[in-house]
Amino acid sequence: MSEPKREGRDRLFAVAVPLVAVAAIAALAALTPALSWLGSDRAAHFHGRDVTGQNWGAQFTLTDPAGHRVSLADEKGKAVLLAFGYTHCPDACPTTLARLAEVRHLLGGDAPRVQVLFVTVDPERDKGPILGRYVSAFDPTFIGLSGSEDETDAVATAFHADYGITKYQGEILVEHSVDTYLIDPSGRTRDVIPYSLAAREVADDVRLVLDGSSS
């Protein structure tokens, strides 16, 4: 079968990251563990990709399903786990959210110090109460956030997350990055958590930023 064609009319939200930047990030990512290893003061490492000091991410303000504006800065003092997705997602998003719910469970008494934010890349269809119901089904503390196209683009770009929406034979196809971003209690993005990490590994990484032992 032919590849689904992107339709120009439905504005494509694909956020272009120049190849050079990707290569630079990949090189940094490859070097980071080696450098950390050399630094004797670093007792522990992230299971994910350490992006400490790389100005990864940015402050943002989006809207929760109740219509309140929520800023990343509101979560200062907590570790934030930020993920992108959409409620029509049958597979990757439930896997990610179920894992993040398990992470909170594994953190036990530290769970209240962690906030999960789930940003929809499909705000057009995730309007109204659906986004809140969806994320709450995994954990009642999870917050679903949506924004305008520009707001969503800006947040995704800041976190080097990519997404696109395509129409194909009447179906709306969404693709998106499935990394989760760990932001420390002071608001700095520290760790890019790949989809393949297990809940206990994510919990280890969260403990590191809560302890401040990997700063």
Q: Report how far residue 116's alpha carbon sits from residue 156's, in angstroms, rounded to the nearest whole number.
A: 16
Segment interacting with another protein, rule: CB under 8 A, options 67-75, 104-112, 133-141, 150-158: 133-141
User: For residues 162 and 191, which CB has a smaller minimum distance to another protein in the complex?
Assistant: 162
User: For residues 13 and 134, which CB has a smaller minimum distance to another protein in the complex?
Assistant: 134
Structure-derived torsion over alpha carbons of residues 21, 175, 72, 155, reported in degrees to the nearest 10: 50
Is there a contact between 163 and 153 (Cβ–Cβ < 8 Å)? no
Site string for another protein, 165-204 (x = CB under 8 A): ---xx-x-xxxxxxx--------------xxxxxx-----
Of 25, 130, 154, 158, the one binding another protein (CB under 8 A) is 130
User: For residues 110 and 139, which CB has a smaller minimum distance to another protein in the complex?
Assistant: 139
Q: Identify residues 47-76 at the interface with another protein (CB under 8 A).
A: none
How is residue 193 written in tokens? 């958590």
Is there a contact between 51 and 82 (Cβ–Cβ < 8 Å)? no
Instruction: Count CA atoms closer than 13 A to 61's CA, side-chain side.
Output: 5
The contacts of residue 90 (CB under 8 Å, 6+ apart) are: none
134 interacts with another protein by CB under 8 A:
yes
Structure-derived torsion over alpha carbons of residues 197, 185, 122, 61, reported in degrees to the nearest 10: -170
User: For residues 22 and 73, which CB has a smaller minimum distance to another protein in the complex?
Assistant: 22
Residues that bind another protein (CB under 8 A): 1, 3-4, 87-92, 94-95, 97-99, 101, 125, 128-130, 133-134, 136-138, 162, 168-169, 171, 173-179, 194-199
